[in-house]
């Protein structure tokens, strides 16, 4: 009987729908395909950024929920003027109180949970990016607000915080 209850409890747990839904965004820029795979946390009335926020200033943060957020591209790109080889990377940030820029980290460690940073030795690129203010978006979103034949802007947007990154392709 206990075994049956344990199995039923496990089945019920596995059947629960996660609060942070999964999303995948793919954009072709010229002949380069860029894909971001992530889980989308929801603000739910919480303070998102700051000393009292869900995300604290000056700390390493994984921009997503649950499993690690990844970005992949089939050809070399430049991000904010810095070359990044084709491949798949996990995305991390070190937040900063505006007007200070954030650090965006492209890391080779792509497996795992959003709290397990693989370490600086696995970093492929670190860049500084200034944030902007935009309209409130309840659910964390990665999107491409501008796309051209050889360039795009990739934006992370949650609450009123927008982190735009300029991308160029070959």
Q: For 29-47, give one letter per residue: b (16+ CB within 10 A) or e.
A: bbebebebbbbbbeeeeee
Q: What is the distance between the alpha carbons of residues 140 and 158, in angstroms, rounded to a whole number?
A: 5
> How does pLDDT run along the chain (170 residues), one tens digit per residue?
666 656 555 555 556 776 778 999 999 999 999 999 999 999 999 999 999 999 999 999 999 988 899 999 999 999 999 999 999 999 999 999 999 999 999 999 987 766 678 889 999 999 999 999 999 999 999 999 999 999 999 999 999 999 999 999 98
**pLDDT of res. 9:** 58
Exposure class string for 57-83: b at 16+ Cβ within 10 A, else e: beeebbbbbbbbbbbebeeebebbeee
Residue partners of 142: CB distance under 8 A and separation at least 6: 23, 25, 36, 38, 63, 69, 154, 155, 156, 157
- Residue 2: predicted pLDDT: 62
Domain map of the chain by residue range? 43-169
């Amino acid at each position: 009987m206990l075994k049956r209850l344990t199995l039923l409890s496990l089945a019920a747990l596995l059947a629960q729908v996660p609060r942070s839904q999964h999303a995948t965004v793919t954009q072709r820029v010229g002949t380069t395909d860029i894909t971001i795979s992530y889980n989308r946390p929801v603000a739910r009335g919480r303070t998102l950024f700051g000393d009292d926020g869900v995300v604290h200033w000056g700390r390493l943060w994984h921009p997503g929920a649950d499993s690690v957020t990844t970005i992949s591209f089939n050809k070399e790109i430049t991000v904010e003027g810095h070359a990044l080889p084709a491949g798949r990377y996990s995305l991390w940030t070190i937040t900063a109180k505006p007007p200070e820029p954030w650090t965006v980290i492209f890391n080779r460690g792509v497996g795992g949970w959003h709290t397990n940073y693989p370490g600086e030795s696995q970093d492929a690129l670190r860049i500084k990016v200034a944030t902007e203010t935009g309209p409130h978006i309840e659910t964390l979103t990665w999107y491409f607000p501008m796309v051209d034949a050889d360039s795009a802007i990739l934006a992370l947007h949650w609450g009123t915080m927008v982190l735009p990154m300029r991308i160029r392709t070959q």
